[in-house]
Amino acid sequence: MLPNMGFGDWVIVLVLVLLLFGAKRLPELARAMGQSMNAFKRGMQEGAQDGDKKETALQTGNRAPRRGRGRKKGRK
């Protein structure tokens, strides 16, 4: 993914970010990034729990009812 970045490389990146966004917006951007990461982690955990429920249902033979499949009677 990322090449090996040394200390000097990170300093350059941080200086560029500071110049692009300014000192006033950095805390706001960091807060938004943290909230996004938390939402992503929460979504991954919910997805894993849903996957576990489906796997358990398949192992026990309980299947979710099918909806929206096939034609409804009386319609052409």
Residues 26 and 32: beta-carbon distance below 8 Å: no
Quote the DSSP letter at residue 68. S
The candidate with the shortest Cα–Cα distance to 26, out of 36, 43, 14, is 14
For residue range 32-68, what is the model confidence (pLDDT) as tens digits?
999 999 999 999 988 877 776 666 666 666 555 566 6
55 vs 9: which has the higher pLDDT? 9
Q: Where are the domains of the chain?
A: 23-56
- 47-69 CB burial, b ≥16 within 10 A, e <16: eeeeeeeeeeeeeeeeeeeeeee
* pLDDT at position 57: 63
Q: Tell me how many degrees the CA angle 38-39-40 measures, rounded to the nearest 5.
A: 90
With 90 as the cut, is the pLDDT of residue 12 above it? yes
